[in-house]
Amino acid sequence: MLTAQQAIKAMRLLIVVPDDEVRTVVDEKLQHEGYERVKTASRGEDAVRLLSAGLAAREPIDLVVLGLGLQDRAGLDAFDEIRSVFDLATLLIAGREDRALALEGVGRGADDYLVLPVDLDLMILKAEKLLMRRFLRRELRRSTTRNETLFLNILAVMAKVIEAKDPYTRSHSEKVSSLSSAVAREMGFADDEVRRIGVAGILHDLGKMGIREAILKKPGPLEPEERAVVQRHPVIASMILEPIEQLQGALGYIKYHHEHFDGSGYPEGLKGEEIPLGARILHATEACDSMLSRRSYSAPKTIEEAVAELRTCSGTQFDPQVVEALITVLKHSGQLGRQDQEGVGRSLPELLEDITGRVSVDDSSPRKSGMRSATDSEDQSAV
């Protein structure tokens, strides 16, 4: 593996200076310092051609040493043209009379400048600084990509655990994720937030991993102590997921997805807009799917019955705005049928990868604001 210094010396440079002597001296100094990938040009037109060729060959130029006042590009015209098209560091070279122009170039986005006659040692220092900055940014992007891959792998493991615990949970989580995403989209959420809510829908019941199956699948009403155990699952899930930085934006949705709009829910008795909007959406969609599904403690309702129940509990258990958006989604032509078919044959890890493949689910914005929210439905156990 190359050291940072070796990586910098392997980067590509372009010298664009109208004066033949200055261009040659700068080129020779760079070559002497170990920079072997150096190209030169005297005209703006040639510079653009070399930059374009490098980009096409997947060998982009990293730093351009650009003289002002080229024969075919006056003042900062060459800089403006290059900067608007190519992503690279720029070191301007200006005559003493053009120092103000060079400063203007820095104000427009140039990284640094030198004044003629060129101090070659200072030029090397400035070039190394700019290339090191570019190298570090590139490494940071690569590190971020590796972290995102690790993040997806962690989510995939968690999804497998959910899947293995209970086949119904797989189907339920999939439907809650899909329906919640549709509701968020209906309410005008941006794509990132839609997918963030989708991830929360997949992982919202992760806290049930530690609950005995005898309780989760109990056919009759739960005893008070059993209900207390079940009601800990949102907090357990949030504790499990809290160390994962990329999930911070979805954490409040998962933790508070059983809060009621009137404050009668759990775990903290939040009410109204104190509840994160994503959690209010999850609550309503989870309740809806539970009503439409056959559970160990209840037969499935029809869509009409489920809609009637949502309306009855609107303003008490559920956020009215979320309810209206959910009903709109349910009434949309074929919407529910398509959701039932979307995940057929797909595992939760596959669904997670699809949801998170294009965006981060991290978000530093406050979790207890937004429009409204929703939660429980499983009235047998508030599961």
Would you tell me how many other CB atoms lie within 10 Å of the CB of residue 154?
Answer: 16
Same domain? For 129 and 170 the reply is: no
63: pLDDT strictly greater than 80? yes
- Name the residue with higher pLDDT: 211 or 38: 38
Same domain? For 203 and 320 the reply is: yes
Residue 322 Cα distances to 9, 166, 181, 318, angstroms:
57, 28, 12, 7
244: pLDDT strictly greater than 80? no
Phi, psi of 112 (to 5 degrees): -170, 175
Same domain? For 125 and 211 the reply is: no
Q: Residue 29: what pLDDT?
A: 96
Give 156's strand partners: none
Q: Residue 381: inside a domain, yes or no?
A: no
- Name the residue with higher pLDDT: 294 or 374: 294
260: pLDDT strictly greater than 90? yes
Alpha-carbon distance 109 to 39, whole Å?
23
Mean pLDDT, residues 348-353: 60
98: pLDDT strictly greater than 90? yes
Mean pLDDT, residues 258-285: 96
Same domain? For 185 and 317 the reply is: yes
Q: Residue 155: inside a domain, yes or no?
A: no
Q: Residue 158: inside a domain, yes or no?
A: no
Instruction: Note whether 196 and 221 are within 8 A (CB).
Output: no
- Name the residue with higher pLDDT: 294 or 366: 294
380: pLDDT strictly greater than 50? no
5: pLDDT strictly greater than 70? yes
- Name the residue with higher pLDDT: 22 or 371: 22
Same domain? For 187 and 107 the reply is: no
Q: Residue 272: inside a domain, yes or no?
A: yes
Phi, psi of 202 (to 5 degrees): -70, -40
Mean pLDDT, residues 315-323: 97
Q: Residue 88: what pLDDT?
A: 95
The CATH code of the domain that includes 314 is 1.10.3210.10
Mean pLDDT of the chain: 83
- The position carrying tokens 């200006």 is 94
Q: Residue 378: inside a domain, yes or no?
A: no
125: pLDDT strictly greater than 90? yes
Percentage of residues of the chain with pLDDT beyond 90: 52
Same domain? For 331 and 210 the reply is: yes
Q: Residue 372: what pLDDT?
A: 32
Mean pLDDT, residues 68-74: 90
Total domains in the chain come to: 2
Q: Residue 231: what pLDDT?
A: 92
Same domain? For 130 and 182 the reply is: no
1: pLDDT strictly greater than 90? no
- Name the residue with higher pLDDT: 82 or 137: 82
Same domain? For 186 and 133 the reply is: no
Same domain? For 178 and 293 the reply is: yes
Same domain? For 11 and 83 the reply is: yes
Structural domain harbouring 213: 166-356
Percentage of residues of the chain with pLDDT beyond 70: 78
273: pLDDT strictly greater than 90? yes
- Name the residue with higher pLDDT: 154 or 281: 281
382: pLDDT strictly greater than 60? no
- Name the residue with higher pLDDT: 308 or 377: 308
Please report which confidence band the pLDDT of residue 249 belongs to, taking 50, 70 and 90 as the band edges. Answer: confident
Q: Residue 300: what pLDDT?
A: 85
